[in-house]
Structure 1
Amino acid sequence: MRPIASLVSAGLAAALTVSIAASAQIIDTVPSDGLGSGAQPPLNLPQMGEPADAALSPTQEAQIGASVMSQLYQYEYILEDTELTDYLTTIGYRLVAAAAQKPPHVEFFVVKDPRINAFAMPGGYIGFNAGLLIASSTESEVAGVMGHELTHVIQRHIARSQADQGGVGTFATWAAVLAAIIAGSANPDVILAALAVGQGSLYQKQVNFTRANELEADRIGIQTMHEAGFDPEGMASFFQRLAQQSRLYGSGVPDILLTHPVNTVRISEARARAASMKTRKVENSYEYGLMRERARVLTFGRPADGIDLYTAELKAGRDTPGNRYGLALSLRESGDFPGGIAVLKPVLDANPKQVNLLLLMSELKLYAGQQAEGLALAKKAQELYPRSTPAILGYASALIQAGKPAEARQLLLSTEQSFGTRMETYRLLSNAARDMKDTGTASYEMANYLYYRGDYGGALAQLDAGLRLDSLSQQDRARMAARRAEVREALPRNYNPYARERR
């Protein structure tokens, strides 16, 4: 068994969060704000220089968030999929643009977990379990959850909770206990580990305070999503679905719903606020249906699970673009590329300019050995959507696969990709340099890839390997040495490179 401290860390020390799942239970004694009359309460935005800064400064929040992200990557808990990440990021920045107050930094990522959850971490990192997208029925429901979590970031609820508790506990202790809040719903051992190191009372105080923040996050989140053009009813309808699942599953309800049930107060408050706003009919985007099935396929344990599910759906007469896309993606995962092409073709013929369909068909064609057709489809996607990160990275990947790494490198260096995808850019730059026989640049870019994943030791090893090359130009050697100094500065002072080899 791992030591307790390691257990807390490995049990997704990740969380450090105020989460929609971990705080879904709202105390029934919270008074109504009378929203049925159409009244809008003040937003209660935090003031600059408030006590939260003394308890947990923005710099400390950023450090915690980056540290937690590195652990999420280390334990392969993040679903590194460019299309899903870009889809959520697009919705997220639409909400940010409509928010009354802008966060200094926000970054969205997908968690490789089929359970329903979303959470906001210090530093503006907002995670969404794939299961939340799968469980949604409308795009406005996804936006409702995202608006809620974005409010936690903008309102700095984590820092404010630390200030309100008078700085209870050391900084490291507080961080470990917050980690247990979200990880504990999936792994009771994490909670026990926190208790074992004497964190029980602090844990309970933190849970109670985060529950008190939820109505504020709901209230501001609904207003933000309405301003962004989504249906404000989306948040309430998602809460209602969670409540229905609690009743449906009974004793077999997932841990997340048993521990944190959604009650009638929260649902009624959300519905009252939505009713007070101007109603609008909001259609789901075409991309929403595809991305929901993409999330489902990428969390299946076996490709056969997806093939069975979508084949049954089509046989039952539910011949939707989402079901065909899901089946084609499952066939790609299983290695049946001709089968995927046949399934996807009718959908692409009907929607010849849809970027996700173009990219999937491009991959299927390339893997099936139809290189010219696959490359042409990827190029079409990038030309139609020159600012789309999935299109840019998809075309770059296709160019590398087609033996044109120099063109891929030029494309990657001449375009700007969205937040949450820069690591994939560095990985592709490294692959392109490798195929161009430029070993030094390949090492440099791979070091960047590992650095932004939080693997500072791995990044250092790549740079050291590159610096040993006799073929390095003086300019490249200076660049690599400067980068090495930056990476070395990020490492713990007692870092031992041999420890990596023993693990």
Structure 2
Amino acid sequence: MTRILTCLFLCVSLAVTPLYAQIRDIDLPQMGEPADNSMSPAQERILGKEVMAELYSYNYTVDDPELDDYVNTIGFKLAAYSATQPPPLTFFIVADDRINAFALPGGFIGFNAGILLAAANESEIAGVLGHEMAHVTQRHIARAEEDTKAANILTWAAVLAAILAGSVANPDLIIAGIGAGQAINQQRSVNYTRAHEQEADRVGIQTMAAAGFDPNGMATFFGRLEQQTRLYGSQVPELLLTHPLNTSRMAEARSRAAALPKSNYKDSPDFPIIQARTRVFAADLPSDAVDYFSGELAAGRNTPANNYGYAMSLSGLGRNADALTALKPALEQLPKQVNINLLKGRLELALNKQDTGLATLSNTLSMYPHYAPAIFAYADALITAGRPEQARQLLISRDQTLGKRMMTYNLLSQAARENGNIAEASYQMATYMFLRGDAGNAIAQIDAGLRWEKLNPQDRARLVAKRQEIRNSLPATWRPAKTLAFH
């Protein structure tokens, strides 16, 4: 993991040179908020996409539709109640069990898997997301740059990479690094950062309350982190390194929450199930997760979440029959819980019970017709079962529900390939890669499709148009690498 993060830092730092050229060429009027004079919303979006492309390329995001949907559901509920209209938002989970969250330029909000494990309830999760969303709506990155008159987009990319890589051991040094060589006053910069944190707390708490969450969630979560710092000494949670915390700030958060109407918010039944799922993903080895959940059950904590986690971790060891047996108590207690039923269907398929597994996934989708992970699970199972056309019809019929989720294009590509339609497979996979910021390999996919001997004029025109769209997004000096992965 350390080597991957080091590579991430270096790659982002090296990648910002062509990025800066793209941003410099955007000629937009200097209008709107003062922050626009330093970094426009369009420039922020470009920078955020570049950093996201690096995260995707090193598989630093959690590629799990169920966890992704859970965090996005809370995130977009908060966005709907934001007093300031946010830009297009992208919530994503970082494959890191440390406790941290961050807002990138352009509306990209990262949420470490460790927060899902550390949170005591959904309001605490909403508190972290609300805080980060406030950094976006209040445009703190652009405002900090305008205020210090020191940082430029190039240095922001390097600093963001350092934050992501966990290589910055002190939040004060982040700001000091921005002003390196420009003789800015360090204390002034630190104070401005603290002001941003206080504003993000205030706006985030207001948004939480408006959305129906318990506004105390933010203060209780930070309080737990502060207690953890006292207990473990130097093992400070990453969230406190990038979001400095002090007594007055915690007191202010509690005071603001107390001034708001009392909330009767109750966690959804999904919360402990999602925590168990996260714990399995976060385990270094499947056996570690098996040991954890078997210990919980042996201690008498026979909850649906622990049975679900135990079953899922057993499946990770290939013990699918044992996993299906272990899942039964969870099914008996929560017979309609969506994640439990999806796991049941997958286990049945893994045991070569194809008809039973497909029926389970189909029934689950009938209960939750707008739940994207259920659509993906059933479509993937149909492709594996040799029914790619049915999978394709399922995916395109749920276009309104799925929107522009990247996995849709991945599955459409797989279905087309199984159908023998190489042109369509190339088009959909190119779209998937382009959305992940990998324009070079997206073009390679298009070129592979254009070489297909059965290509008809309509498909050729479609591929050529997509290729031009992708090429137009790249700098004029871009050239393909000597070797690119494609079909």
Residue number among 344, 356, 374 corresponding to 1:373 in the alignment? 356
Identify if the C-alpha distance between structure 1 residues 9 and 212 changes in structure 2 by more than 3 Å, giving closer, same or farther: farther
Question: Match for 1:407 among 390, 396, 399?
Answer: 390
The amino acid across from 1:370 in the alignment is K
Identity %: 51
State yes or no: 1:348 paired with 2:331: yes
Establish whether residue 8 from structure 1 lines up as the match of residue 12 from structure 2.
Answer: no
Which residue identity lines up with residue 8 of structure 1 in the other structure?
F
Name the structure 2 match of 1:68.
51
Secondary structure at the aligned position of 1:460 is classed as helix
Quote the residue 1:175 is aligned against.
157
User: How far, CA to CA, are the matches of 2:390 and 2:402 in structure 1?
Assistant: 23
Distance of 2:15 and 2:312 partners within structure 1: 29
Pairwise CA distance, 1:416: 3.0
CA contact (8 A) 1:246 1:253 kept: yes
Give yes or no for the alignment of 1:496 onto 2:479. yes
The corresponding residue for 2:22 is none
In structure 2, what is the equivalent of residue 251 of structure 1? 234
Distance, in Å, in 2 between the alignment partners of 1:409 and 1:332 is 28
Say if 2:135 is the partner of 1:134. no
Question: 2-side partners of 1:163 and 1:95: how far apart?
Answer: 28
Q: Secondary structure at the match of 1:110?
A: strand
**Runs of 5+ in structure 2 lacking a partner?**
17-30
Partner Cα separation in structure 1 for residue 242 and residue 106 of structure 2? 27
Contact 1:177 1:203 in 2 (8 A): no
Q: Mean alpha-carbon deviation: is it higher for 425-434 or for 333-342?
A: 333-342
5 Å matches for 1:36-435? Answer: 49-166=32-149, 168-185=150-167, 208-254=191-237, 257=240, 262-416=245-399, 422-435=405-418
Q: Choose 118-127 or 175-184, whichever is displaced more.
A: 175-184
How far residue 429 of structure 1 moved from its aligned partner, in angstroms, is 0.6
Q: Per-residue deviation at 1:118? A: 0.7
**Aligned equivalents of 1:291 and 1:483: distance in 2?**
38
CA distance in 1, matches of 2:44, 2:190: 19
Query: What is the distance in 2 between the residues matched to 1:197 and 1:159?
Result: 15
In 2, are the aligned partners of 1:73 and 1:453 still within 8 Å (CA)?
yes
Partners of 1:234 and 1:381 in 2: CA distance: 32
2:470 is matched by which residue type in structure 1?
Answer: V
Secondary structure of 1:126's counterpart equals strand
Question: Would the alpha carbon gap of residues 383 and 7 (structure 1) be closer, same or farther in structure 2, given more than 3 Å must change?
Answer: closer
Classify the secondary structure of the residue corresponding to 2:481. helix
**Alpha-carbon distance between aligned partners in 1 of 2:161 and 2:96, rounded to the nearest angstrom:** 17
The equivalent of 2:26 in structure 1 is: none
Q: 2:28 — aligned with what? A: none
* Distance verdict in 2 for CA 1:468–1:177, change over 3 Å: same
Q: Secondary structure at the match of 2:476?
A: coil
Contact residue 100 and residue 238 of structure 2 kept, 8 A? no
Once the two structures are superposed, residues 371-414 of structure 1 have per-residue CA deviations (whole angstroms, 9 ceiling, x without a partner) of 11111111112111111111111111121122211011011111
Q: Is the 8 A contact 1:109 1:420 kept in 2?
A: no
Displacement of 1:173: 2.4
Name the CA distance, whole Å, in 1 between partners of 2:480 and 2:388. Answer: 32
Runs of at least 5 residues in structure 1 that lack an aligned partner in the other structure: 16-47
Give the equivalent residue in structure 1 for 2:19: none
Equivalent position of 2:443 in the other structure: 460
Q: TM-score, normalised by structure 2?
A: 0.88
**Structure 2 CA distance for aligned equivalents of residues 300 and 173 of structure 1:** 35
SS, match of residue 357 in structure 2? helix
CA drift of 1:290 comes to 0.9
Whether contact under 8 Å (1:82, 1:421) holds in the other structure is no
CA contact (8 A) 1:161 1:209 kept: yes
Letter in 1 for 2:448: A
The answer to whether the Cα contact below 8 Å between 1:116 and 1:132 also exists between their aligned partners in 2 is yes
The answer (yes or no) to whether the contact 2:134–2:203 under 8 Å persists in 1 is yes
Whether the 8 Å CA contact 1:375–1:395 is kept in 2: the answer is yes
Contact 1:14 1:72 (C-alpha < 8 Å) held by counterparts? no
Structure 1's 100 and 198: CA in aligned 2 closer, same or farther, altered over 3 A? closer
1:446 aligned partner: 429
Contact 1:236–1:270 (CA under 8 A) maintained in structure 2: yes
> Contact between 1:107 and 1:419, CA under 8 Å: does it hold in 2?
no
Q: What's the offset of the Cα at 1:220?
A: 1.2
Decide which of 473, 478, 481 is 2:464's aligned counterpart: 481
Q: C-alpha root-mean-square deviation of aligned residues, in Å?
A: 2.8
1:337 CA displacement = 1.1
Q: Distance in 1 between matches of 2:420 and 2:412?
A: 12
Q: Bigger CA drift: 209-218 or 465-474?
A: 209-218
SS at match of 2:399: coil
SS for the counterpart of 1:497 is coil
| CA 101–13 in structure 1, closer or farther in 2 if over 3 Å, else same | farther
Q: Which amino acid aligns with 2:71?
A: L
Q: Secondary structure at the match of 2:452?
A: coil
What is the deviation of 1:120?
A: 0.9
| Deviation for aligned residue 1:302 | 0.8
Which residue identity is paired with 2:354?
A: Q
Offset from partner CA, 1:257-278 (integer Å, 9 cap, x none) = 4676532112111111111112
CA contact (8 A) 1:460 1:484 kept: yes
Q: 1:317/1:234 Cα in 2 relative to 1: closer, same or farther (>3 Å)? A: same
